[in-house]
Amino acid sequence: MAIELVVCAAHPAALFSRETAALLSDISRAQVVCVGPPADADSLEAVIEAIESERRLLSVERWVFWGMSGGSFLGQLYARQHPDVLAGLILASSGPYFRPTAEDPACILCPRHPAWRERLAAINLLDGQRDVGATEWKVVEGVGWVFRRAGGAALLVSPEEPSVELRRMMPALWTFDARSWLPEVQVPALVMCGSLDPVVPLAHARALANLLPAAEFKMIEGAGHIPLVDHRLAVEDAVRGFLRRCVQRIKST
């Protein structure tokens, strides 16, 4: 089946390499354009502007946006600001917000997750003021990288070293919350989540699908945070079916 669409993939931390683009292209059977954040970008709006500039440069009339994890936030914002150039949204491994997910003890990023709770409490990083203000990253032995309010409590735990771009973008990601305006986004969407995602518990992905009026939800049984890698066939089936419907809608208009 030939998919007559261009797919844009983007992430706030430039995580889409050539290998990832090739994988997305193979799964979707579409031309995939990967857009990374501009140098020194510290806002999601700056990345949205870069994505739209790339679309105009390529003279693409309409495309599908594929956002995974933090890239989903870009997809949601892009759909709000540029709905007329979107044939569809594929949003994987994400909710409609960041902070409520990271504060869920079932999320591996949460300082109160069982893996980190005792260690952070022992060094007085678990309790204290959590209001967003000046923030910083701190390396904690036995835990990893901790994003916290400057001089205050831990807000988020990253077991692996986050990229420079991700550290710079974290204050913007932390405050992202689309719940107030997502019901106005009418773009057809496919929301996917692994049933065993340690980063985004299933309830948060369902919340995203429930807020989007034209969304369909696909749970990938047994998958983790990156279903397109560990459960490729299930993702491939869902994505190709969704893209077929995108093509049919375009042809009918």
> How many domains are contained in the chain?
2
Token output for 169? 């973008």
CB 140 within 8 A of CB 120: yes
Residue 130's pLDDT is: 59
CATH number of domain containing 60:
3.40.50.1820
Mean pLDDT, the chain, rounded, equals 92
Based on the domain organization, do 205 and 236 belong to the same domain? yes
For residue 233, pLDDT beyond 80? yes
Based on the domain organization, do 150 and 195 belong to the same domain? no
Residue 23's pLDDT is: 86
Based on the domain organization, do 91 and 183 belong to the same domain? yes
The per-residue pLDDT for range 139-196, each reduced to its tens digit, is: 999 999 999 988 889 999 999 999 999 999 999 999 999 999 999 999 999 999 999 9
Measure the CA–CA gap between 8 and 67, rounded to whole angstroms: 8
Residue where one domain finishes, among candidates 174, 196, 228 = 174
The sign one gets for the Cα dihedral 76, 77, 83, 89 is negative
Based on the domain organization, do 170 and 185 belong to the same domain? no
Residue 26: give the domain boundaries.
Answer: 6-96+177-252
The per-residue pLDDT for range 11-49, each reduced to its tens digit, is: 998 877 777 788 888 988 889 999 989 988 899 999 999
Based on the domain organization, do 245 and 185 belong to the same domain? yes
Based on the domain organization, do 75 and 165 belong to the same domain? no
Q: Between β-strands 135-140 and 86-92, what pairing exists: parallel, antiparallel or unpaired?
A: unpaired
For residue 129, pLDDT beyond 70? no
Based on the domain organization, do 128 and 17 belong to the same domain? no
Based on the domain organization, do 88 and 11 belong to the same domain? yes
Based on the domain organization, do 114 and 127 belong to the same domain? yes
